[in-house]
Amino acid sequence: MKKRCAWVNLDNPLYIQYHDKEWGRPLKSSQKLFELLCLEGMQAGLSWETILNRREDYREVFMQFDPEKLANLSDKKLEQILQNPKIIRNKRKVYAIRQNARAYLDLSKKQSFRNFIWSYVNHQSIVRNPKNMKAVPTSTKLSKQMAKDLKNWGFAFVGETICYAFMQSAGLVDDHTTDCWLKNQ
């Protein structure tokens, strides 16, 4: 059996696939980065596995995270979404999706979201070599700055811990532990 980062639930094939095929791999699509940032925000106070298990439901409910469509959602539609048992029904988080879509569109008038996000790491992944999960930070100076800047643009649910998790999952930072089979792949 392949050795994986300790956070992976080996009883969940979806989680294993996420770790092996997505986490830590550079994500360069502005729209996919937006989706991931929104999903990371949904995770606040929960486990990523909870959100990952419902990711397809989130995509369905939130129109494949199309910022144009999300920015135009009415309060009435958001209230309907809040009744959908397929997602975590947290009002602040659901309304934050629309807010983030509007912020994304505003930011995109100045530069692509991809370029904005990747500029924090000079458009190149930071490769770290943590020996174990205890050596992996929950936030860094870069994630603090990213959170501050995203909030200044109007984004919600983008604290420094969420931003660091986002940076890891989007491949801005490679935090695969040194005993993981994916290290240096």
Return the active site residues.
18, 40, 48
Q: Measure CA of the first residue to CA of the last residue in the chain; give whole Å.
A: 17
Residue among 146, 50, 47, 59 at smallest CA distance from 97: 59
Task: With H, G, I as helix, E, B as strand and everything else as coil, classify residue 174.
Answer: strand
Q: What CA–CA distance (Å, rounded) separates 27 from 117? A: 10
Give the strand pairing for 126-127 and 173-174.
parallel
Amino acid at residue number 140: T
- Secondary structure element (H or E) that encloses residue 142, with its range: helix 141-153
Give the list of residues 6+ apart from residue 124 with CB closer than 8 angstroms, or none: none
Report CA dihedral (147, 86, 17, 173) to the nearest 10 degrees: 0
